[in-house]
């Protein structure tokens, strides 16, 4: 069957599962779980795939809340990625309840037509995008080793084809001092909180002279245990972001120096740990154009990025560094609503969000059909990924 006919069929198969997909998205929304703790969401999605006859491999890549299922045979291999972790305090304020469900719907629709195409489709359940870089672990485990195209979407407040997702690294800092009675013998103590605040203020001063396309931000995670005890421990988690990997490396040194100097000045011991780097998302132009055309046929018009916009960071950047990939945004709100907000969390459970989730499932499946049916698209995607 030709690609156009297959696209009609996969869209119909998503529609046939609309009620089940909507229920899944709402159930996951009602049970938000943090990174690497997404047991309900991962089980709900994997169990649904199993009930539909998919052979699901749980704990993929050695991660308890990851899963993989595959259909078809041969090459090319198209991976459909889904996320399902939430944020502390605000729940599904990034709409990940919709992403894992869309990936499952797209995969099952493709599985239903796998006998009419050459190649394989793989759904990858990806934990810990918000914190922990789950996809980095999956890359290291070989989940993407044979993948020719990696496709996913993200909910947003605007239909955007090529969002700017910054490279990012997390720094955990801990200052160790010496406890003492804050009123009777303060001179016997070494104040770890003072050391942390001194470093924090240096970081705030650094922000003024950082390039406007880069970001420094964080939270204090421990400021002491009681007001009448000189704090012997204080800690913070910081994020350093930039679209320029070389500049990110420079910022890492300067941010760490803020706390090294503070530790020296206050007599504290500094301990720190860097996370893996989330790479800049490299949107693959041939794949993005195919997705845009498919979304357009479903009534969504994707726009290019706006010059001043950034959308945070994602470990999908690491995937797009090793294989051709896309990470477009589809709006679930009628107008601007900030991500990671209570308002966006509420939007992720609305009829509009569920409709967008089904559109995304169809557009992802249709783009996979393009890759599976058109050898020239897979070739052009590889060439674009190689920089040609």
Structural domains in the chain plus CATH codes: 3-165+281-385 (3.40.630.10), 167-274 (3.30.70.360)
Q: Could you tell me if residue 309 is left (phi over 0), alpha (psi between -120 and 50 degrees) or otherwise beta?
A: beta
The pLDDT, as a whole number, for residue 306 is: 85
The pLDDT, as a whole number, for residue 308 is: 73
User: Please, what is the Cα angle at 123 between 117 and 127, to 5 degrees?
Assistant: 170
Q: How far apart are CA 96 and CA 353, in angstroms?
A: 11
User: Which residues, in sequence order, are bridge partners of residue 70?
Assistant: 122
Say what the pTM is: 0.92
The pLDDT, as a whole number, for residue 388 is: 64
Which regions of the chain are under pLDDT 70?
A: 1, 388
Q: How far apart are CA 215 and CA 166, in angstroms?
A: 9
The pLDDT, as a whole number, for residue 230 is: 97
In contact, 174 and 349? CB cutoff 8 Å: no
CB atoms within 10 A of CB 261: 15
The pLDDT, as a whole number, for residue 1 is: 62
Q: How far apart are CA 258 and CA 238, in angstroms?
A: 12
Reduced to 3 states (helix: H, G, I; strand: E, B; else coil), residue 376 is helix
Q: How far apart are CA 360 and CA 291, in angstroms?
A: 10
The two structure tokens encoding residue 313: 């960071």
Choose among 15, 27, 17: nearest CA to 54.
17
34-60 residues labelled b (16+ CB within 10 A) or e (exposed): ebbbbebbbebbbebbeebebebebeb
128, 132, 136, 142 alpha-carbon torsion, rounded to 10°: -60
The pLDDT, as a whole number, for residue 309 is: 79
Over residues 54-107, the pLDDT tens digits come to: 999 999 999 999 999 999 999 999 999 999 999 999 999 999 999 999 999 999
Over residues 361-384, the pLDDT tens digits come to: 999 999 999 999 999 999 999 999
Reduced to 3 states (helix: H, G, I; strand: E, B; else coil), residue 361 is helix
């Amino acid at each position: 069957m030709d690609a156009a006919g297959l696209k009609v069929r996969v869209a119909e198969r998503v529609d046939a599962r609309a009620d089940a997909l909507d229920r899944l998205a709402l159930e996951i929304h009602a049970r938000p779980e943090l990174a690497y703790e997404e047991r309900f969401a991962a089980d709900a999605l994997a169990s649904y795939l199993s009930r539909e006859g998919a052979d699901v491999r749980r704990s993929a890549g050695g991660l308890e809340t990851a899963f993989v299922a595959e259909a078809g045979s041969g090459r090319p291999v198209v991976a459909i990625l889904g996320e399902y972790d939430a944020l502390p305090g605000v729940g599904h304020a990034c709409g990940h309840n919709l992403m894992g469900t869309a990936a499952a719907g797209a995969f099952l629709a493709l599985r239903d037509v796998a006998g009419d195409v050459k190649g394989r489709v793989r759904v990858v359940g990806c934990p810990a995008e918000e914190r922990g870089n789950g996809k980095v672990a999956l890359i290291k485990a070989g989940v993407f080793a044979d993948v020719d195209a990696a496709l996913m979407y993200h909910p947003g407040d605007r239909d955007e084809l090529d969002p700017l997702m910054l490279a990012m690294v997390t720094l955990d800092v801990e200052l160790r001092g010496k406890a003492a009675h804050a009123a009777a013998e303060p001179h016997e103590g070494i104040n770890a909180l003072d050391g942390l605040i001194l470093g924090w203020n240096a970081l705030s001063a650094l922000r003024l002279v950082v390039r406007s396309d880069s970001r420094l931000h964080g939270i204090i995670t421990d400021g002491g245990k009681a007001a009448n005890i000189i704090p012997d421990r204080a800690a913070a988690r910081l994020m350093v972001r930039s679209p320029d990997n070389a500049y990110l490396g420079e910022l890492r040194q300067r941010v760490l120096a803020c706390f090294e100097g503070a530790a020296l000045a206050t007599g504290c011991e500094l301990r720190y740990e860097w996370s893996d780097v989330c790479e800049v998302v490299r949107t693959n132009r041939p794949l993005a154009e195919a997705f845009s055309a498919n979304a357009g046929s479903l009534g969504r018009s994707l726009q290019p990025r706006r010059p001043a916009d950034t959308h945070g960071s994602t470990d999908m950047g690491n995937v797009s560094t090793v294989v051709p990939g896309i990470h477009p945004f589809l709006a679930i709100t009628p107008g601007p609503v900030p991500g990671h907000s209570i308002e966006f969390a509420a939007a992720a459970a609305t009829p509009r969000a569920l409709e967008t989730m089904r559109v995304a499932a169809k557009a992802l499946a249709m783009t996979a059909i393009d890759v599976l049916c058109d050898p020239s698209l897979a070739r052009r995607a590889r060439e674009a990924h190689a920089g040609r």
